[in-house]
Structure 1
């Protein structure tokens, strides 16, 4: 059933009540809407649709689910040779939601890929189950999600919250499920088209051929920005290309093959065959056709003939890409599509689409280890901050290394410092001291009893208890490791550049728990400061210990049902080991706890 009408929950309280009665009336019936354009099924010839649409019947193609009727209608009007099998506009999604539709589409072998245009994620657990099912069935999913505002993260208690807002959590969910998120409608269409033709890629190694150095340079720049590799050709390939193209052509990847063989089908086919014969995951041919109403084609069609001949002979994923969307005429797009070569329109969108296919391919290789998320209901109660020494003791029980320290009175502080050995750090201890540096509640690098005595005297108005710790030096890098509990997404782990660099660099990545050691290591590898950890121009950090420390924090978070947020900032990444030198924990406790 489709309910096109508006005036339901999107309108006012009376509309919300009307929508509840609609849901009750629907019972077990699958209902699309209300407040939607409806459903188009180009596989079976069914349209429950109140307006014009621009699609046509297909035998196989991609399915698209969108929360916007207008965007859905616009997608049917695309001139990108994207075969749309089904299109569903959800509107309010009162009964049948995105996960229901994804699971149903996965049962149809004629659907080659699924595109989701989302304005939000309502049921994380259900979408997680659908995403795991899609990954295991090998059906790629591309996501275009709007709503990237982080206004709600500006007034939060911890650094972790400011780094892991709702849109960041959506990113983490999509990455976990192997769904490729894109940012533009054009990229969305091109990625779905590429996946329809070639499916997910097994790697990121690509080749590019064009008759222009400018085009080759553009491809190189875009490939680097998307994390795609353009490996050098093997020596045998280089030698044969030199024989084909002549001494004036520089043999490199991307290849500018110049125009010496332009219009020579045999030599172009031999040139492209050399590229297809190498160990690459995808092959690009750049070609913008002349305007059909003003110019003559000729040689451009010969280049396509040669590329198709090479692809037929050697197999492998291939695409012909125009620098401008209008650079590939309808007839060329249809011919390429029929031959199993993706007609890609726009170089930037093409490279983004290839990167999306590579990300999906990497995730599908690990699909067997994917598990759906469980999102328990958040506890209700009052917030309670755990003081730093108590937080450190709790984390140490899970294997997290913390500095040697003592909790003492002001009078005991100098003697405790002598016992620990200088230099030391002195901090005022109180649950309400969330950010000690700003409150003047910490002194670093104290080298004698007198300095310790002076420090606690200056902080006397903040607390009557003090934490004296042996100062840890020699860090390769400072990290922030945080976990916060989100009502929709559950526990989210954030890892990033820590210390004073948290707000300055905002170099962080977020994952949804649970995570494995390999996933933690992958998260570290996505940070801008990863080269510091791995040994940039010098000694690197003990990455295994850093991973184990982060895993200990994650384990503590998963087993503490009261946890709302935890910040470990900084976690010192040392040449040997990793030590947490500051901890902030916020819990939710009922009145009787």
Structure 2
């Protein structure tokens, strides 16, 4: 995409001599940015623009074009685009609005635009975007106010208005950018495109992004994994609440995806996710000018006790640790500080600390082999020469081969000191928690980069047997497979289940129970009943023939009374699991953007009450599956407490891997749930299963109907 970011020639269609018009702003921005290539203003009236020859149409330009910026009314965009195709343009930015974000007509027009761009291999940015800026290359092909400073951080955003606000903030804060891109409606160029380009951009050290929805989830993850191994990618995803999702839909004309799926995608591809814009740029400061730490051990030096305690609290909430200093470090600190000063971690230099005391402490603590990174907290006092302290801290940091961060309390008289820190490449923060969060993110990213490669296994399974069950259900018009139907798929995937069989009468239930051995479980078997508890359809711990016979008739009679519409096939007679077994739930739901989203948590009623669930996207590696199990808050209950044996974690991992394969093998399965899976120290048994299925064509038709309904409501 060099023709987009470093074009040798640019045409602005809709350029204007009238100040305040978008076409005028784009053109003057290009001139003010110092663009060195050929500039061609195109205006149907042929008016003089900024002293350059104006062309009435694209066809009048007799030279090849790298980039064209279209700033004309929506209904004229398509004809202009076709002219540009004839002219052989390589990249196009459409800033014009009124496309899919406003309704069906705009959606169809945008689709046609995207199809033409794809067919003719044209990079299309937008429509409905602010444009882009390449600070180092002198390209400001946007209608933003002002030119951001050059820097090593790239930023792309789905929101143009947010871009305007951030440029204004960056100019006021002295923050620079390598690239600055407004994606708009993402008709062709999307987040994945940006990641691919910026991942290979030598002028970009850190990639930042703001997204409202991600349409090509798999493509996005593929690029994110590649880029995250080379440089940090920090992103903010909005539309995480129902209200936010509705706002995202009306704002961009896109349906916001599942937040759990997005979170899993970010986690699995190494993206650092933040919830606030403040954190987005706080982390960018850290990553752009400091090396990654080699461990979690943080040393803190402060001249004020309170901020030091705040930093310690923040550290306790993070993955970082505050170890005790080595005995040699303590021995060196002791004579240089007053007797009542703290020489442990954090080191309290006391309020009257001067530049020399900061220098001595940094020299000693910075050389301690136990410490991996250093946070210096400076709280201005009445007689402190703040600029001298800043110069001293910056000078000492240059001699320390570890990441050094600074927290400078107060704003009124600290601007010059902040500039000193920035010039020395030391990230400076207003409050201790901001600094610790940034350091924690760097440590977690270092772990992710250094992790071993993922291990993927494809277990043996009988695809034909599973296909036969699914095809039969679809043919009969069923959209759900309940336990006695789904059991055949579970078995086809090599998953262990408690021994069970279907009984169609009370006497048959007794015969099966005697064969299986008491105690047994009886469960209602009906393709029309998903949740057996709704009809009291599960009876446990039945220990005799009379109990089994009585349970069969009571279950079926009660179900018939509560659900007269339901077809009752009988009761499933099942072996009773070990009393020491613990219940977990394993399932997946197919996300529209990212595909199958797997879940794991405690089963039974716990999943509804505690909502203690971990998520990952398929395909699942062995390491991902193990992480899912360890991630839930209730992990210790599975590991064993107060003398109870730990469960068989390898068996749980195996069920997760096989569920992941099932999700990838059969896109007709929209969601599936094994609940409960009974886990003990020896095995994991799938005691109950249900699946929702649908024809793939039906799902596509349903999506089209939803889109049509949305447009009808707007009309």
TM range (shorter): 0.7 to 0.9
Confirm or deny that 1:498 pairs with 2:594: no
Q: Which residue of 2 aligns with 1:2?
A: 93
Q: Which residue of 1 aligns with 2:332?
A: 240
Q: Larger Cα Rg: Structure 1 or Structure 2?
A: 2
**Unmatched segments (≥5 aa) in structure 1:** 154-163, 372-378
2:211 corresponds to which of 95, 100, 118 = 118
Q: Which residue of 2 aligns with 1:344?
A: 429
Q: Which residue of 2 aligns with 1:391?
A: 486
Q: Which residue of 1 aligns with 2:220?
A: 127
Q: Which residue of 1 aligns with 2:185?
A: 92
1:373-431 per-residue CA deviation (whole Å, 9 max, x = no partner) reads xxxxxx99765322313433432443433222232222222232233233321101122
- Give the Cα separation in 1 of the matches to 2:667 and 2:267: 25
- Give the Cα separation in 1 of the matches to 2:696 and 2:261: 27
**Cα distance change, pair 289–110 in 1 and its aligned pair in 2 (3 A):** farther
- Give the Cα separation in 2 of the matches to 1:367 and 1:71: 38
- Give the Cα separation in 2 of the matches to 1:152 and 1:334: 37
Confirm or deny that 1:221 pairs with 2:313: yes
Question: Counterparts of 1:164-563 in structure 2 under 5 Å?
Answer: 166-259=258-351, 262-263=353-354, 265=356, 267-277=357-367, 278-289=369-380, 297-298=384-385, 300-322=386-408, 326=411, 329-366=414-451, 369=454, 384-409=479-504, 410-461=506-557, 462=559, 463-475=568-580, 477-539=582-644, 540-563=646-669
1:105 corresponds to which of 198, 213, 225 = 198
Aligned partner of residue 620 in structure 2, secondary structure: coil
Greater RCO structure (CA 8 Å; 6+ sep): 1
- Give the Cα separation in 1 of the matches to 2:165 and 2:619: 39
Q: Which residue of 1 aligns with 2:114?
A: 23
Aligned partner of residue 11 in structure 1, secondary structure: coil
- Give the Cα separation in 2 of the matches to 1:70 and 1:280: 43
- Give the Cα separation in 2 of the matches to 1:474 and 1:526: 25
Aligned partner of residue 314 in structure 1, secondary structure: coil
Q: Which residue of 2 aligns with 1:156?
A: none
- Give yes or no for contact 1:328–1:345 (8 Å, CA) kept in 2: no
**Cα distance change, pair 233–474 in 1 and its aligned pair in 2 (3 A):** farther
- RMSD across aligned C-alpha pairs, in angstroms? 3.0
- Give yes or no for contact 2:290–2:404 (8 Å, CA) kept in 1: yes
Aligned partner of residue 31 in structure 1, secondary structure: strand
Aligned partner of residue 636 in structure 2, secondary structure: helix
The count of corresponding residues between Structure 1 and Structure 2 is: 564
- Give yes or no for contact 1:216–1:256 (8 Å, CA) kept in 2: yes
Aligned partner of residue 473 in structure 1, secondary structure: coil
- Give yes or no for contact 2:454–2:622 (8 Å, CA) kept in 1: no
Aligned partner of residue 228 in structure 1, secondary structure: coil
- Give yes or no for contact 1:80–1:345 (8 Å, CA) kept in 2: no
Question: Counterparts of 1:151-162 in structure 2 under 5 Å?
Answer: none
Aligned partner of residue 469 in structure 1, secondary structure: strand
Confirm or deny that 1:65 pairs with 2:171: no
1:137-171 per-residue CA deviation (whole Å, 9 max, x = no partner) reads x1110011100125899xxxxxxxxxx97111000
**Cα distance change, pair 242–465 in 1 and its aligned pair in 2 (3 A):** farther
Q: Which residue of 2 aligns with 1:374?
A: none
When structure 1 is superposed on structure 2, of 337-346 and 63-72 the one drifting more is: 337-346
**Cα distance change, pair 273–98 in 1 and its aligned pair in 2 (3 A):** same
Q: TM-score, normalised by structure 2?
A: 0.73
**Cα distance change, pair 464–66 in 1 and its aligned pair in 2 (3 A):** closer
**Cα distance change, pair 38–345 in 1 and its aligned pair in 2 (3 A):** farther
1:366 shift after superposition? 3.6
Q: TM-score, normalised by structure 1?
A: 0.87
Aligned partner of residue 123 in structure 2, secondary structure: coil
1:96 shift after superposition? 1.8
- Give the Cα separation in 1 of the matches to 2:487 and 2:638: 24
**Cα distance change, pair 482–24 in 1 and its aligned pair in 2 (3 A):** closer
When structure 1 is superposed on structure 2, of 508-517 and 16-25 the one drifting more is: 16-25
**Unmatched segments (≥5 aa) in structure 2:** 1-91, 246-255, 457-470, 560-567, 699-715
1:199 shift after superposition? 4.8
- Give yes or no for contact 1:191–1:353 (8 Å, CA) kept in 2: yes
1:153-203 per-residue CA deviation (whole Å, 9 max, x = no partner) reads 9xxxxxxxxxx9711100011111100010001001101111111254444
When structure 1 is superposed on structure 2, of 236-245 and 502-511 the one drifting more is: 236-245
- Give the Cα separation in 1 of the matches to 2:412 and 2:403: 21
- Give yes or no for contact 1:423–1:448 (8 Å, CA) kept in 2: yes
